[in-house]
Amino acid sequence: MKLFGSRNSRSLRCVWALEEAGASYDYQRVWMMKGEGQAPWFKEINPAGKIPVLQDGDLKLTESAAIVYYIAEKFPASGLLPDDLRLRAEVHRWTFFALTELEPHLWAIAQHRFALPEDKRVAALEPTSIWQFGRAARTIEKRLGVSPYIAGDAFTLADIVVFHCLVWATSARLDPPGEACTAYVERLRQRDAYVRATERERVEAERHEATFLVTPVAG
């Protein structure tokens, strides 16, 4: 398996899941800031020019949440996706909540701050996105006030996606939703698999940057 990703992006979700699963994998850093997402070699991997992408044999899978689910199902012993039907339903519920109620507002903030072409940005939309994110984040705060992990008593893939949205919000300088979310983020940051995942992305980024200017990656 090979993951195409970059630091400070949604690829962290996938690297974290791979580390939780104890999978062995190659990692190819794609330097988005240098336009590598549009390089012909990468467009062959993902014509949309986006990361993350997981390659497993002839499968080229995009969408970070789909990749995390794939890893969970390929490595059932990871416990990322429980067997019990009701517990699985909780995992689906909170993952979809994060993807549909949290992430869109974070993405809207990022788009109108810097990601869209300047003439397409509407700064006046930001307060509405912040308000909408805050409303949804309060639901997460309430849940974490009564549950150690988002889907129940055990760590699951839903935690990876929810955590990532909460950390994204902090890096976007949004107010923390509350003490339960803050404590949860601090606790999950201590997980060995999370530490290994962030370190892998850091090391691969440094390695790539040291050689990129000399030898652009050919694929």
DSSP H helices in the chain:
11-21, 40-45, 64-74, 85-97, 103-110, 126-146, 157-171, 179-189, 192-212
Closest residue to ligand GSH, Cβ-based?
50
Distance of closest approach, residue 51 Cβ to ligand GSH, in angstroms: 4
Which of 21, 37, 140, 143 touches ligand GSH (CB under 6 A)?
Answer: 37
Q: Is 50 in the site for ligand GSH (CB under 6 A)?
A: yes
DSSP string, 88-122: HHHHHHHHHHIIIIIHHHHHHHHIIIIIS-GGG--
* Binders in 13-32 for ligand GSH, by CB under 6 A: 32
Q: Extract the tokens encoding 201.
A: 């992305």
By C-beta, is 90 or 103 nearer to ligand GSH? 103
Q: Given the rule CB under 6 A, which of 50-58, 135-143, 184-192, 194-202 is the region that contacts ligand GSH?
A: 50-58
Q: What residues from 52 to 81 belong to the interface with ligand GSH (CB under 6 A)?
A: 52, 63-65
Task: Indicate which single residue of 17, 45, 51, 193 sits in contact with ligand GSH (rule: CB under 6 A).
Answer: 51
Between helices 103-110 and 126-146, what is the axis angle to 10°? 150
Helix (H/G/I), strand (E/B), else coil: 9: coil
Report the nearest approach of ligand GSH to the CB of residue 123 (Å): 20
49-57, 149-157, 173-181, 197-205 -> range binding ligand GSH (CB under 6 A): 49-57
CB closer to ligand GSH, 33 vs 218: 33
Q: How many Å apart are CA 190 and CA 188, to the nearest integer?
A: 5
Q: What is the CA radius of gyration of the chain?
A: 18
CB of 33 to ligand GSH, least distance (A): 10
Query: Which residues in the 161-180 window bind ligand GSH by CB under 6 A?
Result: none
Query: With CB under 6 A, what is the number of residues at the site for ligand GSH?
Result: 11
Q: Is 10 in the site for ligand GSH (CB under 6 A)?
A: yes
Q: Which amino acid is at 134?
A: G
Nearer Cβ to ligand GSH (65/162): 65
Contacts of 182 (CB under 8 A, 6+ apart): 176
DSSP letter for 176, please.
P
**Which SS3 state, helix, strand or coil, does residue 56 take?**
strand
In this structure, are residues 106 and 133 in contact, taking their beta carbons and an 8 Å threshold?
A: yes
Query: Which residue lies nearer to ligand GSH by CB, 78 or 95?
Result: 95
> Interface with ligand GSH by CB under 6 A: which residues?
9-10, 32, 37, 49-52, 63-65
